[in-house]
Amino acid sequence: MKPAPFDYYAPTSVEEALDKLTELGYSGKVLAGGQSLIPAMNFRMARPTALVDLNKVKELSYIKPTADGGLAIGTMTRDSVVEDDILVNERFPILVNTIKHIAHKQIRNRGTFGGAIAHADPAAQLPAAILLLDANLKVLSKSGERWVKATDFFIGPFMTVLEPEEMLAEVVLPPMAPRTGASYQQVSRQKGGYAQAAVISTVTLDGSDRVKEARVALFSVGESALLASKPNQVLAGQVPTAEAIEEVAAYVAKNECDPGTDIHGTEEYRRNLVHVLVRRALIDAVQQAKK
Amino acid sequence: MAEKYVGKSIKRNEDRRLLTGNSTFIDDINLPGMLHVAIKRSDFAHAKINKIDVEKAKALPGVVAVYTADDLGDYWRPGPLQVPPPSVIKGAIFNARPLECIAKNKIRFSGEPVAVVVAEDRYIAEDALDLIDLDVEILPYVGDLEKTVAPDAPLIHEDLESNLAADVVQEVGSWEKAVAEADVVVKKRLLVNRVAGAALENRGIVVNWDANLNLLTVWATTQGPIPMRNSIAKYLGLLENQVRLINPAIGGGFGPKIMSSQIDDVVIPWIAMKLKRPIKWVEDRRENFLGTTSERDQLHYAEIALKKDGTILGVKDVFYHNTGAYNPYGMTVPLNTQAHTVSNYRVPNFLTEIKMVFTNQMVVTPVRGAGRPQGVFVMERLLDAAAEELGMDKAEIRRINLLQPEDFPLRSGIIGQDFVEGVLDSGNYPYALEQTLEKIEYEKFKKEIQPKARAEGKYKGIGIAMFTEGTAVGPYEGCKVMVGVTGKVSVVTAYSNQGQGHYTTFAQIAADNLGVKVTDVDVVTGDSGQWSWGVGAFASRGITLVGTAIHNASLKVREKALNLASKLLETPVDELEMEDSVVRVADIPEKFISLGDLAMRSNPTRGTVEPGMEPGLEAASYYGPPHGATGFGSLGMIVEVDPETGKINIERIVITDDCGQPVNPMVVDGQIHGGLQMGIGEAFYENLVYDDYGQLVTASFMDYLFPQATDMPDKFEIIHSQTKSPLNPLGIKGVGEAGAIAPPACMMQAFEDALGLKDMFITESSINPSKLYHYVQKAKGA
């Protein structure tokens, strides 16, 4: 379990990093926290010719409030820093709850917020979280910056719209609407382990307790993190009754996810989990919204 | 009276060294000029080797040598058989096919070594593995325990008529008679899965050949240093004392590290002598999954015959035991299964048959539990099924069938892993059962807690299972105890230590007999340069065999010291006392001589000695029991199950364990904690899975789920019952495997109890939330 030979670069600025990525093209690979890439390299499943290590690029690590009440998170901010940040806890408690389910603290101390998103593991929490929270992603390259919506960012397992010379630099989370409740539900075989199915949801209620918006993100049950569309179609403008939620949960489990069978669980079981967890997440989120 | 240590939970002598990072593990050993080995392992499960092209690998800069079986010439040979089969069982068939250190002509399991790369560092060695070209003709893979012995199955060893590795029938009484007299006979097909003995530290070996001294020094993580030393010496044509085998600090063993005659101990020393350079090989985790032996994997067709009142009349168990591609470890595991099936109960008629089969999978050798969990799983599941059939309580059916204290010692009629008829030396099973039932509040749970939880929509259940643990089998262990000139005591044994606490427990025994502080006893384990006789760490035998040898040797040293002091102090021995590291005259405390001075005086360097005099305050002793000492106990668990998701939560675990006299109850607790965690792992997390082509799909901790501290309940409630073994002076029995035996049986019963579905019966020892969900669906008729 030693990696194949590779070149290693450790730029100290974004500019230097982008130069290097442009120079390397398809041979280059960004190293962030390394919690996924390094094991993959040690197994020789990943064999990048060159690594561009961003750990010395200090300007990529920050959490800044945005004027509208949201947050901007630098790509190299460690998961545990996001988890423990006061502003994140105030403005996005669901994000804190989500991060707490990423592996164990030691791993969150190394793993980075942007790294997990750019890695696009279909079983990872953060891609689903940014779909749920409708984030905007700042992508940099030598030729400038572009902004990509989270919903446009992921194109398949471990695949994103990032070009080889580009890097994900910042994630901007728009503010949560008032009277929004959220819930995180997962079943994993071990604490800190991969989910067999997981659901994160937000429900925003209006003054008469009708649903303004219901968002349901799923992960570990398809080729990438998913944002289900049925919940909002059915529930928007409605009182979220148990029957309506059950209908939504059943529909999502049947039509809006694509879990497979593996050694840990059958497709049937994991669709059942989606059904149960979507139901539980929506009921919980509604209750939280009413608080 | 000085403090006595045996029976006390004192802190461990070794922990300061370990916790401050001052122990040397195998990978810490670095010698000047050392080379590194990586092993090319087959990706194919069953194949004929046409050609292995290593030229590109050899050409890689930094590669020193590459060897295949052909390069070994006459040195290549299979075996030897590490454990022979017992010859005393009538009619037993055993087709011995010991391991091949490196595959020649044919590959029989995925992960089997086919070439060895030696390079300047491990990175280069692994790069070179990629350059080895293996040209093979792929043969059909055989992995199914029953299909492998079907007439048309492809042969794994072509010189045999079939893939049957062994067939052993043992019968006590008459199963036929039991059936004739029975009111009910319950039949079940039960599966026990395969698990890894995943130690924190993997295997490793470092070899240094000193041609000037004619001394081969081998550091190895083996659990059996002397047998490995002997086999290396024999292979290389050296005398035993020309091979010094040293166990460095070892991070866990759990069974697989007992295996020798593998590529590491056969081929690497040969290469070290050939290249005249020190060589290191340390297995990585992926390699450990692919290249290190594992265990369980049995399929049982089991039946129990009973009277209407629940009295057992007989048990029949015909089982397939997967030995993998070879059977170097003889029949230890399945014999242990036979010996541990009915061992808690009065079963007048017992028929048990082993069908050991070859498959294209990793070789099976003992992993903590070593056949016992299978036997216990089968018996306890049969009792659960019988209780359902008869409408009896699960605790009651056990209670009325338990062996009683007056039944011991009991000749079991079953030949076990030590090749003699089993004798259950002592026991008080009813006490063990009642202690656990009382502590876990079995009656209250059934009558109050469970119904109340159910009314609140919570599915809680309780399980109760019995187990025995045959421990402390022969042949023997030995040691040398010496008082040094500082008055400190040296205990040296070749037994190997993987973290069991020997530096404390062995010291406790010696300290009591020699009147010294336990911290003044230095224990050396597993160094053939210091002590050259012994067998190895298996079968929960260390504390009983080595401990008894230490007890006897330290008593001999005590006698020597007292005799010498008697002369020097001019006082009869019976007026002397030995404590605080001195021998003193009992009534005159100021008249004494220190143990250190006695040691000095015991080795005169001038003058003359009396005839027959033996120098030094030193003695050696060996201990070999006539048969094992029987540990036993009961396990109770309360679980909650979410029937919608299959998620579980273990609320309580109560275990009553009897290992006779515990030398250090805290260390015993540690053994039980670890054992329970492995048992829970087997039942709910761990599973070695091969795909349809014989590829191990669980070759990392990403896929092979090892239970973590965060998956365990907050505490294990442990009760020590202490039925002393009559076999040794301290009354001790082993405990290393106790915790790992009963959890699968107990957990499955608890899950069923929690869900309360009439037709739900779990037939496998390892499940997961998905399987639990499907059991529920099936029972509900969905």
Nearest-by-Cβ selection for B644 from A43, A194, A276: A276
Number of other CB atoms surrounding residue B721 within 10 Å: 19
| Rounded-to-integer distance, Cα B150 and Cα B132, Å | 36
B532-572 tens-digit pLDDT: 999 999 999 999 999 999 999 999 999 999 999 999 999 99
Q: Is the peptide bond before B348 cis (omega within 30 degrees of 0)?
A: no
Q: What is the mean pLDDT of residues B645-671?
A: 97
pLDDT at site B781: 87
The pLDDT of residue B610 is above 90: no
**Greater model confidence, A100 or B86:** A100
Q: What is the mean pLDDT of residues B140-159?
A: 97
Number of alpha carbons in the 13 Å side-chain half-sphere of residue B695 = 7
Q: What is the mean pLDDT of residues B750-772?
A: 96
| Rounded-to-integer distance, Cα A7 and Cα A28, Å | 9
pLDDT at site B596: 97
A20-58 tens-digit pLDDT: 999 999 999 999 999 999 999 999 999 999 999 999 999
Q: What are phi and psi of B693, to 5 degrees?
A: -110, 10
β-pairing verdict for B521-525 and B489-493: parallel
B240-291 tens-digit pLDDT: 999 999 999 999 999 999 999 999 999 999 999 999 999 999 999 999 999 9
A191-201 tens-digit pLDDT: 999 999 999 99
pLDDT band at B88 (very low <50, low <70, confident <90, very high): confident
Inter-chain touch A265–B644, beta carbons under 8 Å: no
Domain B162-196+294-401, CATH among 3.40.50.300, 3.30.365.10, 3.30.1360.230, 3.40.630.30: 3.30.365.10
The pLDDT of residue B746 is above 70: yes
Question: In chain A, what residues touch B677 (CB-CB under 8 Å)?
Answer: none
- Name the class of domain B15-21+474-623: alpha beta
- Distance (Å) from the C-alpha of residue A263 to the closest C-alpha of chain B? 8
Mean of the per-residue pLDDT values of chain B: 96
| Rounded-to-integer distance, Cα A144 and Cα A152, Å | 19
| Rounded-to-integer distance, Cα A141 and Cα A154, Å | 18
Residues 6+ apart with CB under 8 A from B140: B46, B154
CB proximity under 8 Å: A 48-107 to B: 104
Which residue ranges form the domains of chain A, and what is each CATH number? 7-53 (3.30.43.10), 58-173 (3.30.465.10), 181-290 (3.30.390.50)
User: Is B199-291 assigned to CATH 3.40.630.30?
Assistant: no
Residue B25 DSSP code? B
- Distance (Å) from the C-alpha of residue A273 to the closest C-alpha of chain B? 6
What SS3 state is found at B378? helix
Q: Do domains B199-291 and B423-471+629-782 have the same CATH topology?
A: yes
B328 to each of A9, B50, B79, B294, how far by Cα in Å? 50, 26, 7, 13
Torsion over CA: A99, A103, A106, A108 (sign): negative
Kind plus residue range of the DSSP H or E element containing A116: helix A113-119
**Residue B82 in contact with residue B331, Cβ under 8 Å?**
no
B677 in contact with chain A, both atoms CB, cutoff 8 A: no
**Residue B757 in contact with residue B675, Cβ under 8 Å?**
no
Torsion over CA: B356, B86, B479, B227 (sign): negative
B138 to each of B101, B114, B160, B445, B716, how far by Cα in Å? 21, 15, 20, 57, 49
* Residues β-bridged to residue A188: A195
β-pairing verdict for B349-358 and B215-220: unpaired
Say how many CB pairs under 8 Å bridge A and B.
68
Number of other CB atoms surrounding residue B442 within 10 Å: 21
Buried/exposed code over B620-652 (b: 16+ C-beta within 10 A; e: otherwise): bbbbebebbbbbbbbbbbbbbbbbbbbbbebbb
Nearest to B479, CA basis, from B423, B422, B550, B429 = B550
| Rounded-to-integer distance, Cα A34 and Cα A43, Å | 14
Question: In chain B, what residues touch A192 (CB-CB under 8 Å)?
Answer: 708, 710
Which range among A111-125, A138-152, B1-15 shows the weakest confidence by mean pLDDT? B1-15
| Rounded-to-integer distance, Cα B242 and Cα A170, Å | 65
Torsion over CA: B724, B312, B760, B435 (sign): negative
B262 in contact with chain A, both atoms CB, cutoff 8 A: no
The pLDDT of residue B300 is above 80: yes
* Residues β-bridged to residue B337: none
Inter-chain touch B286–A265, beta carbons under 8 Å: no
Inter-chain touch B130–A4, beta carbons under 8 Å: yes
β-pairing verdict for B35-41 and B113-119: antiparallel
The pLDDT of residue B87 is above 90: no
pLDDT at site A72: 98
The pLDDT of residue B1 is above 60: no
pLDDT at site B2: 57
The pLDDT of residue B753 is above 90: yes
Kind plus residue range of the DSSP H or E element containing B596: helix B595-601
* Residues β-bridged to residue B105: none
CB proximity under 8 Å: A 145-184 to B: none
Token duo for residue A22: 């442009």
Tokens 């009354």 correspond to B731
Question: In chain B, what residues touch A264 (CB-CB under 8 Å)?
Answer: 705, 768, 770
User: Is B35-161 assigned to CATH 3.90.1170.50?
Assistant: yes
Residues 6+ apart with CB under 8 A from A85: A63
β-pairing verdict for B489-493 and B477-483: antiparallel
pLDDT band at B479 (very low <50, low <70, confident <90, very high): very high
Fold of B423-471+629-782: Aldehyde Oxidoreductase; domain 4 (3.30.365)
Number of other CB atoms surrounding residue B4 within 10 Å: 10
The pLDDT of residue A171 is above 80: yes
**Residue B463 in contact with residue B747, Cβ under 8 Å?**
yes
B335-385 tens-digit pLDDT: 999 999 999 999 999 999 999 999 999 999 999 999 999 999 999 999 999
B185-213 tens-digit pLDDT: 999 999 999 999 999 999 999 999 999 99
Domains of chain B: which residue ranges?
Answer: 15-21+474-623, 35-161, 162-196+294-401, 199-291, 423-471+629-782
Q: Is the peptide bond before A48 cis (omega within 30 degrees of 0)?
A: no
pLDDT at site B3: 67
Nearest-by-Cβ selection for A276 from B130, B645, B770: B645
Q: At what angle do helices B665-684 and B743-755 cross, to 10 degrees?
A: 60
